[in-house]
Structure 1
Amino acid sequence: MVDLSTLLPDWLKSEDVLAMIAGIAAMASFLIIWNALLVKDTLPDRIKNLEKRRNKLREDVVNQTRQRSQLIARETMMHRVVKKMQLMKGEKARQISVHLAQGGWRSKDALVTYLFARICLPIVFGGLGALYLFGTNPFEWVPSVSLGASAFLALIGYALPRLILKNQISKRYAAMRKSLPDALDLLVICTEAGLNLDSGLDRVCREVSNSAPELADEFGLTAIELGFLPDRKEALMNLARRVDFQSMTTLVNTLLQTEKYGTPLAVALRVLSAEMRDERLMKAEEKAARLPAIMTVPMIVFILPSLFIVLIGPAVLKAIDAFSGG
């Protein structure tokens, strides 16, 4: 058997090698234990992220102010007409702004465009209809009927912007309602991992930005308002006003309760997530239970006549041949 002491230099003994190995092992064990027990302070990183969001929001506000000043300098015809008629004042204009925000249009230009369309489209539709009906009279109507048709076209032009806005709101709500349970599950995971509400919403916003851009937009804006507004309740109430359907209202009320009474956020969100999953399952079962009643009319109209023809048709033909032959 080879003696390891013969392989070492004369100045290095086997006892020294063992002492060095023991020292290195002790040092490594100390570093591993220290790294495992060391609790990293994430507060500076959170403060930096919050400061970044505040700076971004401040830059957006400054840019909007600059754009507004430039817009005032080169005011368009729409702005002049709407301002001349004083349509942007009063409670009705504020309600329209809320509806436009629910549809995803939050700029002041959206309100001006909507009001201008409500003014001009009836004139355009009614005027073109009257010009066509009275000028060419393709249907040979009497003037009173042509006038009524022109008034009906003007009414369509007046109602068209509202119908487009309602359709946009319903489509946006349907997309957010479909993606809300999955986003809430992600928010539960984020809160259980130790993130607070605004950081969790920001994280969920980044994760669902491709699959659910509407919900990501609302959650991102709420996360910024939670870090920027002095009252967190106001930010959550703004979310409830922008997204006005039952599931989001329940979520906002739950978050308000946790903010007010100090309920553990992860526990409340987990309970709410389970309720939303049960609600989604109940809706799927409701659609499945409604399917036989929905299929009854197509079956009676399309399937049963064909079935009667196949079953009774040959007997009817034979009877006709028999009576004709007799």
Structure 2
Amino acid sequence: MQPLIDALGPDGALYVLGGTGILLVLGALVAFLKPGADPYRRLDRKGAIATGGAPAAAEAGRLRESGEKKLEKFSGFLEPQSEEELTEIKRKLQQAGYTNRDAVSLFYLSQAVLGIGMMALGGFYVWMNLGAEPPMSTTTMVLAILGPGVGGYYMPKRYIASRAKAREEEIVSGFPDSLDLMLVCIEAGQSMDQSIIRVANELQISYPALAAEFELVAYEMKAGKDKAQVFRDMADRCGVQDITSFTTVLIQSQTFGTSIADALRVYAAEMRDKRVMRAEEKANKLPTKMTLATMMLTLPPLLIILLSPSILEIMAVLSGDSSSTTF
């Protein structure tokens, strides 16, 4: 650092760091403004070619482009660079409940904005403390600037992970009830499509995430999509093993021509047993957790109460003041 200090003064290292940050921001802006290939537009072009350039497909493409107008110039930076990365991030966002087609772009945008914004706040903090005594070291300045930026960049990932976990717990809790209700509807004479719609309506208040999934399944069935693929997509969006097994049961029942009511009756009973076992597991873990909390909150005050008189007496004896040892 000595050549920088000799050339630029005591804050030479900070000037170089600030100039490097400005260059990085300018490079990011160039990447923002550079147009890139949008995977969705490639799919639109393939669909238009397959349908012979139908006017309806072209009109739908124009409507989607108008909806993405604000993010269009950032598409090269806000979209994943490979099909595998696109599939993975879409699956994570769907498991967290974000199913709109702009979710991927908004996720990457939030990472960029929070990263750059928190880094700017760190730079402002360093600038406000330049004249403080004792002066900040170069390492402290770098950590104060880059640390918040890294934290802001990874904040959306942590939020998506926590939201996906909460949504998974909600789906796992409500799935046995949905199976019981679906079984009642089917045994009452309703079809599978009608049963799913009824389940979605009934679970709207208690389990909104699970109700939204069943509602989407009902819409896809109405649109004519294959039932097996519809339930596979539901299992991918939820990321819950119970729904994956449920999908397998329905596909096998449809393939072999067995009664869906019988399959649902057996699987619903199994799900109820699993819910009871999960509750028993939590109950068995409770004594261990209570023991740890009891030791941490009870033992230190008890030791203070029991040992304080003896400690004070020993201190008084050591100081030579024997008259203060009477309790």
Give the TM-score taking structure 1 as reference length.
0.70
2:87 corresponding residue in structure 1:
94
1:143 corresponding residue in structure 2:
138
Q: Secondary structure at the match of 2:98?
A: coil
Shift of 1:215: 0.8
Cα deviation digits, residues 161-183 of structure 1 (max 9, x gap): 11111122111111111111111
Cα deviation digits, residues 121-140 of structure 1 (max 9, x gap): 21221122123214424684
Q: Which of 106, 121, 129 is the aligned partner of 2:122? A: 129
Q: Secondary structure at the match of 1:211?
A: coil
1:71 corresponding residue in structure 2:
67
Q: Does 1:297 align with 2:292?
A: yes
Instruction: Give, in whole Å, the separation in 1 of the partners of 2:251 and 2:259.
Output: 12
Residues 315 and 102 of structure 1, relative CA distance in 2, 3 Å threshold: closer
2:102 corresponding residue in structure 1:
109
Instruction: Give, in whole Å, the separation in 2 of the partners of 1:179 and 1:87.
Output: 34
Q: 2:79 touches 2:108 (CA, 8 Å); kept in 1?
A: no
Q: Does 1:185 align with 2:180?
A: yes
Shift of 1:90: 2.9
Shift of 1:298: 2.2
Matched letter for residue 68 of structure 1:
R
Cα deviation digits, residues 96-139 of structure 1 (max 9, x gap): 22222222211122222111122232122112212321442468
- How many residue pairs match? The answer is 263
Q: Which of 263, 267, 278 is the aligned partner of 2:262? A: 267
Instruction: Give, in whole Å, the separation in 2 of the partners of 1:63 and 1:322.
Output: 98
Instruction: Give, in whole Å, the separation in 2 of the partners of 1:214 and 1:179.
Output: 9
Root-mean-square deviation over aligned CA pairs:
3.3
Q: 2:78 touches 2:106 (CA, 8 Å); kept in 1?
A: no
Identical pairs, percent = 30
Computing the radius of gyration over CA atoms, which structure comes out larger, 1 or 2? Answer: 1
Q: Which of 282, 286, 309 is the aligned partner of 1:287? A: 282
Residues 282 and 87 of structure 1, relative CA distance in 2, 3 Å threshold: closer
After TM superposition, the structure 1 = structure 2 runs for residues 22-37 of structure 1, keeping only pairs within 5 Å, are: none
Residues 127 and 312 of structure 1, relative CA distance in 2, 3 Å threshold: closer
Cα deviation digits, residues 243-289 of structure 1 (max 9, x gap): 11111112111111111112211111111111111111111111111
After TM superposition, the structure 1 = structure 2 runs for residues 227-246 of structure 1, keeping only pairs within 5 Å, are: 227-246=222-241
Q: Which of 255, 258, 263 is the aligned partner of 2:253? A: 258
Q: 1:198 touches 1:224 (CA, 8 Å); kept in 2?
A: no
Q: 2:221 touches 2:227 (CA, 8 Å); kept in 1?
A: yes
Q: 2:78 touches 2:108 (CA, 8 Å); kept in 1?
A: no
Q: 1:134 touches 1:143 (CA, 8 Å); kept in 2?
A: no
Residues 243 and 62 of structure 1, relative CA distance in 2, 3 Å threshold: farther
Shift of 1:160: 1.0
Instruction: Give, in whole Å, the separation in 1 of the partners of 2:242 and 2:77.
Output: 41
Q: What stretches of structure 2 of length at least 5 have no aligned partner?
A: 1-56, 317-321
1:32 corresponding residue in structure 2:
none
Q: Does 1:201 align with 2:234?
A: no
Give the TM-score taking structure 2 as reference length.
0.70
2:13 corresponding residue in structure 1:
none
Cα deviation digits, residues 1-46 of structure 1 (max 9, x gap): xxxxxxxxxxxxxxxxxxxxxxxxxxxxxxxxxxxxxxxxxxxxxx
